[in-house]
A and B are shown apart, each in its own frame.
Chain A
Amino acid sequence: MSRFSEDELKLTEFLKRHQPVVPAANPDLEEQLMSAIASTPQPRLTVVSKAPVQRRILWAVPSAIAAGLVAMVVSHRTFAPVSQPSAAEVAELQNFIESTWDDSVAEQSVSEGDLFPVTEDSTLN
């Protein structure tokens, strides 16, 4: 319900009191309408059940996602190259690791010596 200020109330009352008189209907109008209605049958609502269609659509979405995932995994396994290193590659890799390891150990011992040089001053401390 809207709140009226005093001014609005006065205006509304004035409009209501002096509102234009709507011309009366033709006395036959009601009967004319009723005879028009009698010759106008009400269209029956054909109830189209949308629920099964909607349910089918709802089921289709997760099914499609699941099917897509399965297809992706299967195709990846099928078509992706399986990398099996040969014996030569394994040997090469082993050599590389060993040489890298030796180098790193050697560098570390040198650097440690640089970091903590044995001097007379240090022995005094």
Chain B
Amino acid sequence: MQGLIVSTAFHESVSESDDSHLVQQSLQGDTQSFRLLYRRHEKRVRTILYQLCDVNVLDDLVQDVFLRAWRGLPKFRQTAKFSTWLYRIAWNVASDYRQAAARGRTQLQELTKQAPMRQESPDVMHLHYQDLVQRGLNQLSADHRTVLVLHDLEEVPQKDIAEILGIPVGTVKSRLFHARAAVRKFLDHEGVQL
């Protein structure tokens, strides 16, 4: 277990130093270095946006995040973690989108409606559980969902989440607690025994 922690920390540290190097290169105008940054972080950015926004505009929003990052790179403090800074941009893009998309049809309905369309696995139980998890996440508030996704699914440390969302660590803990409790209750209600 300890070895795993050390290994993860080492990997994270190496990854951050690589990010830092790529950021430096990008600041010199090296677009290929920025391409590598994109490849490294695209999946997580996509996951965050997917949980908060309409799937139909996912590609546009991902592009928006990285364009904002490219433009804002000269202002990026080199002492901060690039990933945290980038996820903060993703959060801002998602928030902007949600505000703009505050119309009759809710995001939750949209995501629920689309959930069955993206199933490809032949395992029926897995499909069923996937649908339940999606619905469980959808019934959370955006704040609670974001914290749960970042922490439990994307394994972002609580301290970093606090920085990304601009809230105290205590608030992250509290939101995580309530989000887990709500999802557990939902799953229990749906007959899932954990």
Contact = CB atoms under 8 A, between A and B. Distances in A.
A18 B133 contact: yes
B152 A42 contact: no
B35 A30 contact: yes
Contacts of A32: 63
B153 A15 contact: yes
B102 interface: no
A25 B59 contact: yes
A18 B157 contact: no
Interface residues of B, number: 50
22 contacts: A7-B194, A8-B180, A11-B152, A11-B180, A14-B129, A14-B187, A14-B192, A16-B153, A20-B130, A20-B133, A21-B120, A22-B46, A25-B58, A25-B59, A26-B59, A33-B38, A33-B63, A33-B67, A40-B70, A42-B73, A43-B74, A44-B74
Contacts of B50: 20, 22-23
Contacts, number: 100
Given A15-B133, A15-B183, A16-B153, A10 B194 contact: yes
B67 A29 contact: no
A29 B59 contact: yes
A42 B129 CA distance: 45
B130 A42 contact: no
Interface string A38-71: 1010111100000000000000000000000000
Contacts of B126: 18
B5 interface: yes
Given A21-B119, A30-B42, A43-B74, 8 more contacts: A11-B187, A18-B126, A20-B137, A21-B118, A23-B50, A23-B55, A40-B67, A40-B70
